[in-house]
């Protein structure tokens, strides 16, 4: 194994930093831990941790993006599934329809919860596991009928989490691929975008535009020039849910 200090440039703010990565295998070229010196006001996530045994240390996880998933069962059922070593699956985070969040696999970020044992790779997207942070969203029990399944509480809670992760790991706040495209994207994507995976989550109704607007809003609110608790520079995006089709949203 070869460890090399790689130079990273944050795609969001331009700050440069270095981070040691394992270079044999497919190391991402442009991502990594970017503990921004100017983000002194970035507060730690207040998310409870319940351990999943389904994780490993297959190289240091150097997240180049975030994979959005949905669960096939309820929130508590998904937690139990990830606690069960026989299931062989996990994700770093699960977000419930009412906005509750839980972390089940630790991250190489000392400000998040969980054991510091180096086993930061969750088992959520096969060959993409060492590249991506996985966020599951409680979905399946309503029957997955349309955009109304993605509650505002869940989207806001998840977007706040994602904004923190984008600050920490210099992940660009963008969705580079269409739902039917598969590639090793940098930024945000669905499970359906990850090569060599057959899953179709998060499905055709995930409100990507609204979600990314929310991530950008929280991202800006976490910036160093926004003291904790200060009013954000712009109003939070509001979603209008219609009966079917792509959700419309507006920024007030
Ligand atoms: Zn999935």
Each residue's pLDDT, cut to its tens digit, for the chain (252 residues) gives 455 565 656 555 566 666 555 444 444 443 444 444 444 445 667 899 999 999 998 665 678 899 999 998 899 999 999 999 999 999 999 999 999 999 999 987 766 788 888 888 999 999 999 899 999 999 755 555 677 778 899 999 999 999 988 888 888 999 999 999 999 999 999 999 999 999 999 988 899 999 999 999 888 877 655 554 444 556 788 776 554 444 343 333
Distance 225 CA to ligand 1 centre (A): 36
15, part of any domain: no
Segments forming the whole domain that contains residue 95: 32-250
Give me the CATH number covering residue 232: 3.40.80.10
Kindly give the distance from the C-alpha atom of residue 69 to the centroid of ligand 1, in angstroms, as a whole number.
4
Say what the pLDDT of residue 57 is. Answer: 83
- Asked, for residue 14, whether it belongs to a domain, the answer is no
Structural domain contains residue 154: yes
Distance 44 CA to ligand 1 centre (A): 26
Nearest to 212 by CA among 168, 155, 164, 170: 155
Query: 2 lies in a domain?
Result: no
Q: pTM of the prediction?
A: 0.80
pLDDT at 58: 64
- Residue 24 C-alpha to ligand 1 middle, in angstroms? 27
Instruction: Report residue 17: phi and psi, to 5°.
Output: -155, 170
How far does the centroid of ligand 1 lie from the alpha carbon of residue 26, in Å?
22
The predicted pLDDT at position 37 comes to: 40
Task: Give residue 190 CA to ligand 1 midpoint distance, Å.
Answer: 8
Q: Is residue 108 a contact partner of residue 60, using CB atoms and an 8 Å limit?
A: yes
Q: How far is the CA of 70 from the centre of ligand 1 (A)?
A: 6
Residues, beta carbon < 5 Å, ion ligand 1: 69, 191, 199, 201
Q: How far, in Å, CA of 9 to CA of 167, rounded?
A: 12
Q: What is the pLDDT of residue 109?
A: 74
Residue 238, domain member (yes or no): yes
Instruction: State residue 112's pLDDT score.
Output: 75
Instruction: Determine if residue 147 is left, alpha or beta; phi over 0 gives left, psi from -120 to 50 gives alpha, anything else beta.
Output: alpha
Distance 66 CA to ligand 1 centre (A): 12
Tell me whether residue 53 is in a domain: yes
Ligand 1 centroid – CA 133 distance (Å): 12
End-to-end C-alpha distance for the chain, whole angstroms: 51
What's the gap in Å between 49 CA and the centre of ligand 1? Answer: 20
Distance 246 CA to ligand 1 centre (A): 21
Distance 189 CA to ligand 1 centre (A): 11
- Asked if residue 1 belongs to a domain, the reply is no
Residue 191 lies in a domain: yes
Q: What is the pLDDT of residue 228?
A: 47
Domain count, the chain: 1
What's the gap in Å between 38 CA and the centre of ligand 1? 34
Q: Which of 200, 210, 205 is nearest to 146 (CA)?
A: 205
């Amino acid at each position: 194994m070869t460890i090399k200090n790689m130079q990273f440039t944050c795609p969001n703010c331009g700050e440069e930093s270095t981070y040691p990565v394992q270079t044999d295998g497919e190391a991402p070229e442009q991502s990594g831990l970017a503990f921004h010196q100017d983000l002194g006001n970035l507060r730690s996530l207040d998310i409870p941790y319940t351990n999943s045994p389904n994780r490993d240390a297959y190289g240091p996880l150097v997240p180049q993006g975030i994979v959005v998933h949905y669960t096939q069962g309820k929130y508590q059922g998904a937690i139990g599934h990830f606690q069960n070593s026989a299931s062989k699956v996990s994700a770093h985070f699960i977000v419930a329809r009412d906005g509750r969040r839980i972390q089940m696999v630790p991250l190489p970020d000392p400000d998040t919860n969980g054991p510091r044992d180096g086993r930061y790779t969750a088992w959520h997207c096969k060959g993409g596991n060492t590249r991506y942070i996985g966020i599951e969203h409680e979905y399946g029990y309503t029957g997955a009928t349309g955009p109304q399944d993605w509650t505002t509480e869940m989207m806001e809670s998840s977007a706040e989490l994602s904004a923190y992760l984008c600050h920490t790991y210099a992940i660009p706040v963008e969705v580079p691929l269409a739902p039917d495209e598969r590639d090793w994207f940098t930024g945000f994507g669905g499970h359906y975008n990850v090569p060599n995976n057959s899953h179709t989550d998060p499905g055709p109704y995930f409100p990507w535009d609204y979600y990314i607007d929310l991530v950008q809003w929280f991202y800006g609110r976490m910036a160093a020039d926004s003291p904790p608790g200060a009013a954000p520079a712009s109003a939070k995006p509001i979603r209008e849910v219609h009966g079917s089709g792509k959700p419309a949203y507006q920024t007030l």
